Amino acid sequence: MPRVKIDGTEYEVEDGRTILQALDDLGLLMNGVDVPHYCWHPKLPVDGSCRLCQVEVDDIPKLQIACNTPIRDGMEVRTQSDRVADARRGVMELLLVNHPLDCPICDQAGECKLQDYAFDYGVKHARTRDPRRPAQKAVELGPEIVFDQERCILCRRCVRFCRDVTGTAELGVFQRGDESLLETFPGKPLDNAYSMNVADICPVGALTTRDFRFKIRVWFLDDVDSVCNQCSNGCNISAGRAHNNVYRFTPRRNDDVNDTWMCDAGRLSYPALREGRLETAQLRGRSVAFNEAVAAAGAALRETREAGGRIVGIGSPFAPNEDLFTLRELLGAVGAGPGLFSVPLGAGDDILIKPEKAPNAAGARALGFVESGDVGDAALAIVLGHAAAGDALSSVENVILIDTHDSALASRAMVALPARTFAERAGTFTNHAKRVQRFLPFLEPRFEAWAEGDILTRLAASAGLDTDAWDVNAVSKRLSQEVPAFEGIDLDSVGDRGLELR
């Protein structure tokens, strides 16, 4: 493997990598070694158009662009010399020639590369006297993306995304020279299942999503690591949170799962964390206090056991591994068979979207849940989630439903208990490739709701079973010790990138 000296430190890098790729591989890019860049993106082909990543290489007289210079053994790269700083200043000045100075009203402010690099490398005063080039404002490029043509610096990241990632090729740069403009083919909108990623990769405020535009200044947002629950791919996401509200989901890079992308449907799924929730405990369709509902459910569970009635458990592919494990334990304690579950299906593609429209079907399978809706002659059913319960439960006299969202079943059930969404508690999902991934809480519930596993444990205690208070970390540890597939995989050890099932 070639060795390279960067700013005096020697590194060993993989064969055939460019300087920027090697720095990215080493985790040093803009994180120890500052090589500012606009057009280069780790998941897109090289463009070489922005010229900002110029560095000194060996004794080559001219500066080289780090994004397109392959590393050779023994190469020496200098990223912080005076010549490099001077070149960056020059490039920044040219990039800013036509860029409006409207940061105070620009939605990108606070997460704008142009702003950051202008601060680091820019000149303080514009030397141009001619007015900036006027162009179109607030162009609706498609259903989700709004475009400010004046702010575009023509890095072509969005163009390459649409060509090389989605293959839809909606965007292009038309005209040439200082008249170049980013546009769509006449009459053809930017409309694909991943279109909103172009707003993430746009280094400036040119491409914004209609959904997030002007909602909140980004510096008010905390980003919390989470996992999308809209399909079994389990794209890693950051939840942008402020004031106990979530304002957006953005993809979080995980090269083993979703690179740096996510689909629009997943990105726009966050309102469901608030809408349509089951907000109070229900006893035969009547709102009651949480504890009263738990006591009634516990009593029914005890009586059914004593009377020898059959008990069935129905898991949910939306429930985290820890909660499914608790359900499994409870079902074992009351002598019920393995839990059942079913997965809603939909369309998938070859990029990220998977046909299984739930985040944890693989987890349910790994924990021994059986894909079936056949409840037979059960007298009592303990049900997580309503997604697949359906009519099969109409023959069951006592349904104890633990659910995040309201449904017809909630009003029909003997007891319905409000559960926390994945946004309101920690846990893990197992994606289609059997990768266990962690999500962290980013919202406080607005009403009394508990994790499914927690509710199951209260139910068990109320039915007279011997239990400890539920704690997701403790359950996760026990799961990793008791289920071979999860050996060594718990909330701590999965880290922020996930681990594959054994």
Partner 1 sequence: MQPETRQKIEALFEQYPEKRGALLPAIYLVQAEQGWVSAEQAEALAELFDLKPIDVWEVLTFYNMFYTSPQGRHHVYVCTNLPCSLRGARGLLKQIEAHLGIRAGQTTEDGRVTLGHEECLGSCGTAPVLRVDGRYCENVDAQEARRLVDALE
Binding site for partner 1 (CB under 8 A): 163, 169-177, 184-188
The least distance separating partner 1 from the CB of residue 174, rounded to whole angstroms, comes to: 4
CA neighbor of 318 nearest in space, from 347, 355, 337, 343? 343
Least Å distance between CB 189 and partner 1? 13
Nearer to partner 1, 169 or 299 (CB): 169
CB of 176 to partner 1, least distance (A): 5
Give Rg (Cα) of the chain: 27
Closest CB 172 distance from partner 1, rounded Å: 4
Give how far the C-alpha of residue 115 lies from the chain's centroid of Cα atoms, to the nearest Å.
26
- Residue 184 vs 232, nearer CB to partner 1: 184
Greatest Cα pair distance, the chain, in angstroms, is 90
Q: Are 241 and 224 in contact (CB under 8 A)?
A: yes
Q: Which is nearer to partner 1, 169 or 268 (CB)?
A: 169
User: Could you tell me the smallest distance in angstroms from the CB atom of residue 96 to partner 1?
Assistant: 24
**Would you give the DSSP letter of residue 402?**
E
Q: In terms of CB distance, is 148 or 170 closer to partner 1?
A: 170
User: Cα-flanking dihedrals φ and ψ of residue 290, to 5°?
Assistant: -55, -50
By beta-carbon proximity to partner 1, the closer residue of 174 and 214 is 174
Is the sign of the CA dihedral 58, 64, 65, 67 positive or negative? negative
As given in the structure block, the two tokens for residue 481 are 């010790």
For the chain, the straight-line distance linking the first and the last C-alpha, in angstroms and rounded, comes to: 31
Q: Cα–Cα distance between 4 and 200 in angstroms, integer?
A: 32
In whole angstroms, the minimum distance from the beta carbon of 168 to partner 1 comes to 9
- Would you say 188 or 286 has its CB closer to partner 1? 188
CB of 141 to partner 1, least distance (A): 13
E strand spans, 398-439: 398-403, 415-418, 427-430, 435-439
CB contact at 8 A, 437 and 234: yes
Residue 42 vs 167, nearer CB to partner 1: 167
